[in-house]
Amino acid sequence: MKIGELVKQHIKDIFSNCEIAEHDEIYHLLDYKDSKNMFGVNYPFCTELENIEQSESKRYWTEIYIVRSKRVRVTSQWFEKSRESFLKYIESKGISVENNLENSTNNEHKALSPFKNNSNSRYRGAAIGNSQNLFIRNILSNLGQESFTENDWNLTKDYFLYKCAYCALEAELLIEHAIPINKEKLGEHKLGNVVPSCKTCNSRKAGKDFREFLGDDTAAIEKIEQYMDSRNYVPLEDNEQIKMILNMAYKEVGFLAERYVTIINELFSHSINNYKQPNE
């Protein structure tokens, strides 16, 4: 389980502890230094809504929690090096470690496509999942009113000194989305999400978020985040409402395809029956 998923799965238990057992614990979670000492993160565990500047909003998950009458959001800036500290913290609070997130996620994905167990699977046939994913990419690529040109792309390459944003290699540069355009990561085809990448990093990164891919390379992560800020790009990351809408769209494409396959198959079946009747 990724560190971000691990943290999100235990947020409610952590805040429950603040409400029921340790009322003052929320003040430690709101404090930068205490959070740094407890978790090794560079942001407070959570911050009150009124204290989050717009430029910093993307560094917090979108879900709002009410803890001790305070409306807060939890930082999303977690790295693998904080896993041990986080586990020690929740264990010290008597919170059990949950391990069922990956199973529930896998079950959800299995339920999304109506063609998952289709009996007429065919070698090198077109999978409905490809169309579903393309539809989601089309939606995410057209949100908002932003436009950009080749000159804007050249300025982006200049921002990164004509080097790969991930490994700093001087090489042939490809357009790469720092946050992938899919229904899980919610990346968009906007200038602030477009960075230069060498072919190797582009291939290795695949569907990973730039933070996942870069791991503990905080310098490269900060460079990309600063670039996003300079282009006024605020990621949709972890926006549950958007995810819900895109999941609906994803399933509808599958059901729509199934509907028309059924209609056409029935048409073929009817035509074959009519053709056979004169010979019977």
pTM of this structure: 0.56
Lowest mean pLDDT among 94-103, 152-161, 200-209: 94-103
Q: Average pLDDT, stretch 77-89?
A: 92
> Which residue segments constitute the domains of the chain, with CATH numbers given?
3-100 (no CATH), 137-230 (1.10.30)
Instruction: Provide the β-strand partners of residue 72.
Output: 48, 65
CB-count burial class (<10 Å; 0-12, 13-18, 19+) for 227? buried
Q: Which of 95, 63, 92, 90 is nearest to 76 (CA)?
A: 63
pLDDT digits (tens, 9 = 90+) for 157-191: 999 999 999 999 999 999 999 999 888 888 899 99
Q: What is the pLDDT of residue 42?
A: 92
Q: CA 2, CA 156: separation in Å to the nearest integer?
A: 30
The pLDDT score that the predictor gives to residue 99 is: 54
Provide the residue count of the chain: 280
If you average pLDDT over every residue of the chain, what do you get?
Answer: 84
Question: Two tokens at 111?
Answer: 């339920």
| pLDDT greater than 60 at residue 213 | yes
Distance of alpha carbon 235 from alpha carbon 192, whole angstroms: 9
- Characterise 98 by phi-psi region: left (phi > 0), alpha (psi -120 to 50), beta (else): beta
CA dihedral 166, 168, 173, 174 (to 10 degrees): 0
* Per-residue confidence band for 272, with pLDDT thresholds at 50, 70 and 90: low
